[in-house]
Amino acid sequence: MNLAIAVVLTFHVASGISDDAWIDHEVDVAKNRLDADFTRAAGSGALAETITTVDDRDALAPLAANDGTVHVFVVAKLADKDKDGGVIGGVTWPHGKRRYIIVSHDDAREDTLAHELGHYFGLPHTTDAHDLMTPLREPGGTLTDDQLAIVHKRIAAFTRR
């Protein structure tokens, strides 16, 4: 059952990254794993190539307009706020009433955007190594029928706003 409602993902890409094929692949994987229709739109604004601090993450909020789309920021590196010197592939970041996704071009897996969209639409982390929502998952992680039902319900609510 492919969810017929299209969700627009507005991509803000750091200036040093020009990899449309990589972004297209991340979107295609998200479509498959979340059984949903995602389309791409171009965002705007100057973006640092490396997001190091919580303040750097928060500074993206003004670019994430309340326009009915999911804002995705693609940077070269995304520091792990909890591990000094560590990096992560992506994060769904809340800032006030805004939420947005930050993905590291250099460190994301092919399903990182799908994983973060799962969070964006209400899914928590799990412990099953074959589940998309497990942080240290096996390649090809999927969602259960119950998880898909939650995502589809949240997408429908999101698009009605």
pLDDT in tens, 38-47: 999 999 877 8
Question: Is the pLDDT confidence value at 9 over 60?
Answer: yes
Radius of gyration of the chain (CA): 15
Cβ neighbours of residue 90 closer than 8 Å, sequence gap 6 or more: 78, 101, 102, 103, 104, 108, 112, 113, 115, 116
Residue 3 pLDDT exceeds 60? no
Rounded Cα distance, 137 and 40, in Å = 26
pLDDT of 1: 47
Does residue 142 register a pLDDT over 50? yes
- Measure the CA–CA gap between 40 and 24, rounded to whole angstroms: 8
Please, which pLDDT band fits residue 159 given cuts at 50, 70 and 90?
confident
Maximum CA pair distance of the chain? 43
Q: What is the mean pLDDT of residues 60-67?
A: 93
* pLDDT (mean) for 58-76: 94
What is the pLDDT confidence band of residue 4, given thresholds at 50, 70 and 90? low
pLDDT tens for each residue of 83-137: 999 999 999 999 988 899 999 999 999 999 999 999 999 999 999 999 999 988 8
Mean pLDDT for 19-40 is 94
CA distance 129 to 135: 8
Q: What percentage of the chain reaches a pLDDT higher than 70?
A: 97
Where residue 2 falls among pLDDT bands split at 50, 70, 90? low
When the pLDDT of each residue in the chain is averaged and rounded to a whole number, the result is 92
Instruction: Please tell me the CATH code under which domain 6-160 is placed.
Output: 3.40.390.10
